[in-house]
Amino acid sequence: MTTLYTNARIHGGDATAVAVEGGRITWLGRNFPGQAVNTIDLNGADVAPAFVDAHVHATSAGLLRTGLDLTATESLADLLDAVRDRANTGVLLWGHGWEETRWPEHRPPTRAELDAVAGNTPVYLSRIDVHSALASTALVELAPAARTAPGWTADGPLARDAHHHVRRAARDSITPAQCAEAQLAFLRHAASMGIACVHECAGPDISGAEDLADLLARSGDLPRVVGYWGALADPPPGISGLAGDLFVDGALGSRTAALHEPYTDRPDTRGALYLDADRISAHVVACTETGIQAGCHVIGDAAVAEVVTGFQLAEKALGEQAIATARHRLEHLEMVTAEQAAELARLGVVASVQPRFDATWGGRDGMYAERLGPDRGNALNPFATLAKEGVTLAFGSDAPVTPVDPWATVRAAVEHRTPGQGLDREAAFTAHTAGGWAAAREPGGALEVGAPATFAVWQGETCLRTVLDGKTIYEGP
């Protein structure tokens, strides 16, 4: 059955109509020569390839929509008031999004302060970067191993393994119904933003195999989910790679990203390095030999150096062509030099990056500068350098870390806070469309005859319709 979309402005050419049959584009032009069974008048709207969000955490992002959203809190007192208003049932309270660097107190609440408003309610409140969290005593009691794990503090946010223990306990307290509600809320919202595909970056310390299996099994009018598992071995069914958030290090906001030189605002630490070059190399070799994607989460300059060396060691074992053909991927890649970018490009590595990190924390007065000093902090997320050296870019949100808003992501890449590191609008749009499909090792992101009929219909930046493989997964007013 042929569906003909008419009266449109088609991205990338002068066509005003597009015909779809069997999930693919069968014709583009102005005067359709065939017979359409179904004609849809788009009333002059724009048609463009649908967006791909190349890094999400669906359940956590959905819980932000259905749970306690702390992204707008402006003070420590705001956070405590929000918890007091919701923590009165004894049932787990899951919240996300606090960021103490924006508060006048410039510190998170202590556990004692949190307990005073939480009472006997287990409370889990992840920091904006999700690499540390506040946990009430009632939650810690559900995760006793946290007390002796790396990253434990007696009265402050928990990081590293201690954070993983309390997060797992919090996750185990979420009912299947709450999980389903959160996943569906996130996926439906993504579709309403013109997103036809998301890359779920799951893992044993992030969401769990059951959560990932449930997400991959979702069907209906929803975006496609490409699944990644952040571990060195034992891939669950249905994933595209042992990649995504396989942590080589942590995050800058939580001071767990691995650095060559100490943090400016905490000279006693250089962060945390979880994997060295030898283990990274062994992982890349194993994945290449089995035909799946390898990859990892890497942010700090010391961690990036380990990753580049790891890929070079893997090249020595298997050869340049084998590594480059595998199209492995890296998440975030924030502190990377031009020389390192050139090496990664030579080895076919795709960079899954988040432009709204720069919009939120970049510049000489942002969180990056506070953590690293203005010179180091202003050199992060060098998109223009990566593109110039030939690295394929794939844009994402890392939701719930930053909101799902593709056009805001495109703008953030164009309006980079470091002069000279922004992309032009078309390059940024391509990174958020075709780049996402490339990161999944699949064709897509083009409107041409024979291509998948995956596109979005826009009035300005308002999504009117999202189509995945010829099927409408969102239709707005």
CATH of the domain at 152: 3.10.310.70
119-139 residue pLDDT tens:
999 999 999 988 899 999 999
DSSP state of 220: S
pLDDT tens-digit map of 368-408: 999 999 999 999 999 999 999 999 999 999 999 999 999 99
Half-sphere exposure of 105 (CA within 13 A, CB side): 15
- The angle subtended at Cα 66 by Cα 61 and Cα 70, nearest 5°, is 70
Can you tell me the distance from the alpha carbon of 16 to that of 474, in angstroms, rounded to the nearest whole number? 21
Sign of CA dihedral 294, 296, 301, 305: negative
- pTM value surpassing 0.85: yes
pLDDT recorded at residue 454: 98
First to last CA, the chain: 25
Which domain-ending residue is among 132, 156, 172?
A: 172
Residues in the chain predicted with pLDDT less than 70, given as ranges, are: none
Q: What is the distance, to the nearest Å, from the Cα of residue 398 to the centroid of all Cα atoms in its chain?
A: 2
Residues 339, 201: one domain?
A: yes
Q: Rounded to whole angstroms, how far apart are CA atoms 204 and 212?
A: 10
Q: Are strands 158-159 and 132-135 parallel, antiparallel or unpaired?
A: antiparallel
Tell me if 59 is assigned to some domain: no
Q: What local confidence, expressed as pLDDT, does residue 66 receive? A: 76
In a domain, 428, yes or no: yes
155 and 13 belong to one structural domain: no
Measured CA to CA in angstroms, residue 163 lies from 50, 61, 111, 170 at distances of 36, 18, 14, 10
Q: Is residue 56 part of a domain?
A: no
User: Which among 138, 11, 49 is positioned nearest to 466, based on CA atoms?
Assistant: 49
CA 68/CA 80 separation, integer angstroms = 12
Residues 125 and 194 in one domain: no
Q: What angle do CA 402, 340, 382 make, to 5 degrees?
A: 35
Q: What is the 3-state secondary structure (H, E, C) of 130-168?
A: CCEEEECHHHHCCCHHHHHCCCCCCCCCEEHHHHHHHHH
Q: Which residue, 126, 157, 172, sits at the end of a domain?
A: 172
**Distance between CA 454 and CA 466 in Å, rounded?**
8
Amino acid present at 50: A
Domain that includes residue 364, residue range: 177-439
In the block, residue with structure tokens 């074992």: 317
Residues 348 and 414 both lie in one domain: yes
Cα distance between residue 393 and residue 409, in whole Å: 13
The answer to whether residue 58 is domain-embedded is no
Are 323 and 392 within one domain? yes
What gap in Å lies between CA 78 and CA 464, rounded to an integer?
36
Q: What are the tokens at 18?
A: 């597009």
CATH number at residue 31: 2.30.40.10
Based on the fold, state whether residues 320 and 266 are members of the same structural domain.
yes
For residue 347, being part of any structural domain is answered with yes
Question: CATH number, domain at 315?
Answer: 3.20.20.140
Structural domains in the chain (count): 3
Q: Is position 62 within any domain?
A: no
pLDDT tens track for 220-268: 999 999 999 999 999 999 999 999 999 999 999 999 999 999 999 999 9
User: Prior bond to 400 cis, omega within 30?
Assistant: yes
Residue 407 shares a structural domain with residue 420: yes
Specify whether 241 is located in the same domain as 332: yes
pLDDT of residue 18: 97
Report the relative pairing of strands 329-332 and 392-395 from DSSP bridges. Answer: unpaired
- Check whether residue 219 and residue 326 sit in a common domain: yes
Last residue of a domain, one of 131, 156, 172: 172
Q: Are residues 197 and 319 in the same domain?
A: yes
Question: So what's the pLDDT on residue 174?
Answer: 85
Q: Please report whether residue 470 resides in a domain.
A: yes
7 part of a folded domain: yes
Q: Is the dihedral of CA 39, 40, 43, 49 positive or negative?
A: negative
Whole-angstrom distance, CA of residue 457 vs CA of residue 120: 48
- Same domain as 452, residue 391: no
The answer on 98 and 226 residing in a single domain is: no
pLDDT at 405: 97
CA dihedral sign, ordered 372, 377, 379, 380: positive
